[in-house]
Structure 1
């Protein structure tokens, strides 16, 4: 259990690096390298999901044997996972208010909170490729949740129908979004089979709370256009 979560933190560090690099590539309009970087991130995500298989070998009684030693330790303490959520656009102020004021982790998470997301970089990529992305979206307040845009959705429909190169990047972003949702789902089921409806070690309601994080896409516009294609 401890080893898997330590390994997760190593992978989270790599994912953050790759997501930062992806944003640079999208802003530079480097489609081939952006596609390659997305492929690498997706491969890492598959590894993260596969590691849940190991955690699921721990029975409820196995977990209870050492749960007390975890004390208040929980996934809430992972500032790197919060950073990943923020860089994907899943922003919420309570997510960083759990870190002590002035701490290095708090500073890192706050910095991510105010920075552009992968989706913002993709919108810039679309604009660079001569698509009429609204200026208000390109200059929006990055600390706020992105709201689905009918204008962007119209652009995406055109991209899918007429520009396979740009559409390839859009599809890899769908894969990225789906990959994280798959990891969340597997995580929820692992928690349910291990502790059932018991509260989490970090003070949350456990699986009940985790269920609220499901089916929340990071890139809603890409999902909204499916019926239009």
Structure 2
């Protein structure tokens, strides 16, 4: 029997969903793409929703690979949104966007929420390296940036319109520049408290996500032990 790692299966699933959309990919398609029987695939993952949830985390990791903060707020922000733009332009779709709309999110709602919240948090962290940008302004710019870029991916898919993505990227960067140009509205000590609170919230969310993913993997392993096939 061919040995295929779980990481490879997740990578292949992510690529297939990018190319065809969630509803356009079946477990049989994924099994065929990795050279496994469908039954063997179910020994690793209980269903497509659980597999795609892990694939979504892989996409998030790829997006945030360029998010190392250097202290240069605008440059770091532009690096992150630029990476988002390139990924969306090359794949013509985002897994998170497809899972968020029109699907039963009973198994995928936590990973989807984590996907978008993590993007928002990294964009906020980049902007808040500048002392004049407070948490409310950073959150508004970050959310608008994610909304613009994800929305522009619709026109890439529907009409192959790359200009929509370029305009969205430009608007996101312009909004960041305006936020950075504003006078400081938060005292340094208040800003420090805000940052500490935000860091604590992000750590708590990360820990909760790890616990949920661990439970998810345990469910898959337990299910594989008792699953029988015709």
TM-score by length of 1: 0.32
Higher relative contact order structure (alpha carbons within 8 Å, sequence separation ≥ 6): 1
Say which one has the larger Rg. Answer: 2
Q: How high is the TM-score relative to the length of structure 2?
A: 0.32
Of Structure 1 and Structure 2, the greater helix share is in 2
